[in-house]
Amino acid sequence: MAINVEQYNQIKEALGDKAVLVAVSKTKPADDILELYKLGQRDFGENYVQELAEKQLVLPNDIRWHFIGHLQSNKVKYIAPFVHLIHGVDSYKLLLEIDKQAGKHKRIINCLLQVHIAQEETKFGFSQEELAEAMKSINASQQSGLLQNIRVAGLMGMASFTEDQQHIQKEFIYLKGLFDEYFPASSAPDAVLSMGMSSDYALAVNNGSNMVRIGSLLFGARSKP
Ligand SMILES: *Cc1c(COP(=O)(O)O)cnc(C)c1O
């Protein structure tokens, strides 16, 4: 077996009904995904459009595919027919394109806005100010009948690449604060806060995450990032 069944069971048990597990299968073969599928896993996450499109063709139809990578506007069309949730939306322009492509397929595509919470410049996402502006534009557009084919379902973030748990926790608390501000449980009980990966998922869930994206713990280390 290529996948770590014991880890899978442990993670599922630890998450309970607190958080949805997205199994991140990027760079891993379809056979590995099928193994996990046979154990009941249905949510899978991929980072690369072409890889996702190829896997989707050969794998069961009831898999919920999450796009968790950095999405370029010109590639939205390849995943629009089937994608379940797009995690890393980081511009209004991208949202417009997702809306357009979703409309062609008569779908409503759920999206998460990515917030830049890490120290690293290399990571993507809105700053706090940009998020405020984007939320305002989105709400105004939707109230005037635009952007009817997307739904902003919540927020996503990636913590800094560091061993310093306290630092990571600070970033998670910061993101949870923004999440509560824009998606209060009273009016948005189903909103999604996607935060936490293999190395920090427990910390993320303890700090309010309700969706974690876990790759290497389940599928083993990757050779490509
Ligand atoms: C690759 C990736 C993950 C999974 O990372 P692991 O450390 O292998 O669990 C989660 N989220 C994003 C955005 C990723 O690119």
Say if residues 79 and 65 touch (Cβ distance below 8 Å): yes
Cα separation of 55 and 174, whole Å?
A: 35
- Quick check: is 9 in a domain? yes
From the alpha carbon of 156, which atom of ligand 1 is closest? 13
- Quick check: is 214 in a domain? yes
- Give pLDDT tens digits along the chain (225 positions): 589 999 999 999 999 999 999 999 999 999 999 999 999 999 999 999 999 999 999 999 999 999 999 999 999 999 999 999 999 999 999 999 999 999 999 999 999 999 999 988 777 899 999 999 999 999 999 999 999 999 999 999 999 999 999 999 999 999 999 999 999 999 999 999 999 999 999 999 999 999 999 999 999 998 755
Contacts of 8 (CB under 8 A, 6+ apart): 36, 39, 41, 218
Look at ligand 1, atom 11, and give the residue with the nearest C-alpha.
Answer: 213
Looking at the structure of the chain, the number of domains it has is: 1
33: left (phi over 0), alpha (psi -120 to 50) or beta: alpha
Residue 132 CA to its chain's centroid (Å): 20
Cα separation of 73 and 55, whole Å?
A: 21
40: left (phi over 0), alpha (psi -120 to 50) or beta: left
Contacts of 153 (CB under 8 A, 6+ apart): 85, 110, 111, 112, 190, 191, 192
CATH number at residue 111: 3.20.20.10
- Quick check: is 223 in a domain? no
Q: Which of 3, 11, 25, 68 to mutate to test the pocket of ligand 1 (most atoms within 8 A of CB)?
A: 68
Q: Quote the domain boundaries for residue 90.
A: 5-218
- Quick check: is 21 in a domain? yes
Q: What is the pTM of this model?
A: 0.96
- Quick check: is 50 in a domain? yes
- Quick check: is 163 in a domain? yes
3-state secondary structure of 129: helix
Structure tokens at 160: 């800094």
- Quick check: is 107 in a domain? yes
- Using CB distances shorter than 6 Å, the residues near ligand 1 are 24, 26, 47, 68, 158, 197-199, 213-216
- Quick check: is 201 in a domain? yes
